[in-house]
């Protein structure tokens, strides 16, 4: 949900969102990169992290454990059949 630029810096929409949130609240940010949604959820449950900026969709199960912000985009899943 972010990506590394050519100069190895972090960039992307959710990276910018976290930085703006931290600046508004006067928080310092330490980013922890996780490689899967399961790792993100686990780090929140284990209190290794306070928030997640990972494009998480709200499910009934997740809503029981976490507080979600209002949605800022809608994900629509699609499949495609390719032919030659």
Residue 69, Cβ neighbours under 10 Å: how many? 11
What pLDDT, on the 0 to 100 scale, is given for residue 2? 67
> Do residues 3 and 15 make contact, with C-beta atoms less than 8 angstroms apart?
no
Q: Is the pTM of this model over 0.85?
A: no
- How does pLDDT run across 13-72, given as a tens digit for each residue? 888 989 999 999 999 999 888 889 999 999 999 999 999 987 788 899 999 999 998 888
Classify 16 in phi/psi space as left (phi over 0), alpha (psi -120 to 50) or beta. Answer: alpha
């Amino acid at each position: 949900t972010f990506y590394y630029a050519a100069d190895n810096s972090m960039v992307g929409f959710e990276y910018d969102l976290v930085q703006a949130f931290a600046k508004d609240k006067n928080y310092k940010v330490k980013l922890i990169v996780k490689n899967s949604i399961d790792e993100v959820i686990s780090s929140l449950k284990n209190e290794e992290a306070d928030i997640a900026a990972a494009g998480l969709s709200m499910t009934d199960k997740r809503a029981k454990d976490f507080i979600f912000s209002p949605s800022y985009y809608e994900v629509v899943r699609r499949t495609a059949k390719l032919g030659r």
